[in-house]
Amino acid sequence: MKDPTDQDTITIEEVRKASDGSGCTTVHRYLRGKLLGKGGFAKVYWCTSLDSNKNYAIKIVPKANLVKSRARQKLQAEIKIHRVLKHRRVVEYKHFFEDRVNCYILLELCHNHSMNELIKRRKRLSEPEVLYYMMQLIDGTKYMHQLNVIHRDLKLGNLFLDRNMIIKIGDLGLAAKLTHENERKRTICGTPNYIAPEIIDGKGGHSFQVCCAHFHSIKFHSISNKSPLPPNSSF
């Protein structure tokens, strides 16, 4: 059931402290527009800065969803990882702020939504088109790996498209930062239809190789318009 407030235009206020340590504050306002997407803990909306008239995407996380310490740690980890990623193939992180009710992450707006919407419109892509997008995806993922970051949830819905239909990797909610390149993570996470076998197996942990499994799933889904892993599948 749709929340009717998702369609309302709402003004969001950010109270920002001066960086000079003077204790002064300034108020910045954003006009929240249409809903762009939603997950289990957050919703993402189109928004416009009333200071500059620039458009952004704004991720809104209700503090009611952050009561458990694990949920708070997850959000903190997402912000810590995303804020240092500066690459043409990664959605740009702008900044974070909060009020009494919500936490907000201001992000680069990708005007053409995601690869998921593209496949829904087109049904399937040609092999040259898939190669074009896969090269961009590999470029962005390689950069993240150089910083010891693994995304762990690469899928069509997390590959956004800018004005020029260029891929931007987004939604770092399940991303992990390795302390060293040989570290293995053991948390079972990901989208069921895309989850990598190494994550499900869990015995030896997982690392950079999970992104390669995601590459194959994305390529298959883009060409065939079929789910890479049916929900009733098992390993």
Band of pLDDT at residue 232, cut at 50, 70 and 90: low
Q: Tell me the mean pLDDT in the region 61-85.
A: 95
Band of pLDDT at residue 72, cut at 50, 70 and 90: very high
Q: How many CB atoms lie within 10 A of CB 113?
A: 15
Q: Give the model's pLDDT for residue 202.
A: 72
Q: Which is the catalytic residue, given 153, 162, 171, 201? A: 153
- Identify the residue with better confidence: 62 or 230: 62
Band of pLDDT at residue 8, cut at 50, 70 and 90: confident
Q: Give the model's pLDDT for residue 206.
A: 87
Q: Give the model's pLDDT for residue 235.
A: 43
Q: Give the model's pLDDT for residue 194.
A: 83
Residue-wise pLDDT tens digits, 154-195: 999 999 999 999 999 999 999 999 999 888 888 888 887 888
- Please compute Rg for the chain using Cα positions: 19
Let me know if 153 is a catalytic residue. Answer: yes
Q: Tell me the mean pLDDT in the region 224-228.
A: 85
Residue-wise pLDDT tens digits, 103-158: 999 999 999 999 999 999 999 999 999 999 999 999 999 999 999 999 999 999 99
Q: Tell me the mean pLDDT in the region 74-99.
A: 97
- Identify the residue with better confidence: 4 or 100: 100
Band of pLDDT at residue 20, cut at 50, 70 and 90: confident
Nearest residue to 99 via CA among 23, 26, 18, 14? 14
3-state secondary structure of 34: strand
Q: Tell me the mean pLDDT in the region 52-60.
A: 97
Averaged pLDDT score across all residues of the chain: 90
Nearest residue to 91 via CA among 166, 186, 179, 155? 166
Residue-wise pLDDT tens digits, 193-208: 888 888 887 778 888 9
Pairing of strands 25-38, 43-49: antiparallel
DSSP structural state of residue 91: P
- This model's pTM is above 0.95: no
Domains, the chain, in order of start with CATH, read 4-107 (3.30.200.20), 115-224 (1.10.510.10)
Q: Give the model's pLDDT for residue 214.
A: 93
Q: Which two tokens stand for residue 27?
A: 């108020």
- Identify the residue with better confidence: 36 or 7: 36
Distances (CA, A) of 186 to 70, 178, 204: 16, 12, 8
